[in-house]
Amino acid sequence: QGTHQWALESFAAVAKYPSAQIATQDVFRSGAIKSATDFQIYEEVAGLPGLDFAYTDTTSVYHTKNDKMELLQPGSLQHSGENMLAFLLHAASSPKFMKDAHQAKQDSTEQKKAIFFDILV
């Protein structure tokens, strides 16, 4: 899920293998999924905008004692790492990131909803 327009647009522009689904964010925000993510504390308590990433292959064991590294699909960490490195290098070199993050914290994120999805070719 994403709550920061600049971060979403930047991630899509610089990530080597960007992938996102608005449907996932909508279902999660509806309360249909009775789970939480690590990102929620930053968003809901601290009011910080950002991006949330999760693996969805083994949701039945997510955040349980049965959640193990061995359950990750081969290449998942490499895929995420390549995307994150490109995005973090971009964000770290951009004065716009902190300026927009501060402004986004003051603005209502509900007023700036975005629609995003993958296109398979």
List the beta strands (DSSP E) in 73-118: none
Tell me phi and psi for residue 103, to 5 degrees: -65, -40
Tell me the two tokens of residue 49.
């905008």
pLDDT at 98 over 80: no
Map out the domains of the chain as residue ranges: 5-112
More confident residue, 84 or 26: 84
Mean pLDDT of 81-100: 85
11-20, 43-52, 111-120: range with lowest mean pLDDT? 111-120
pLDDT at 116 over 60: no
pLDDT at 113 over 70: no
d(CA 32, CA 45): 21
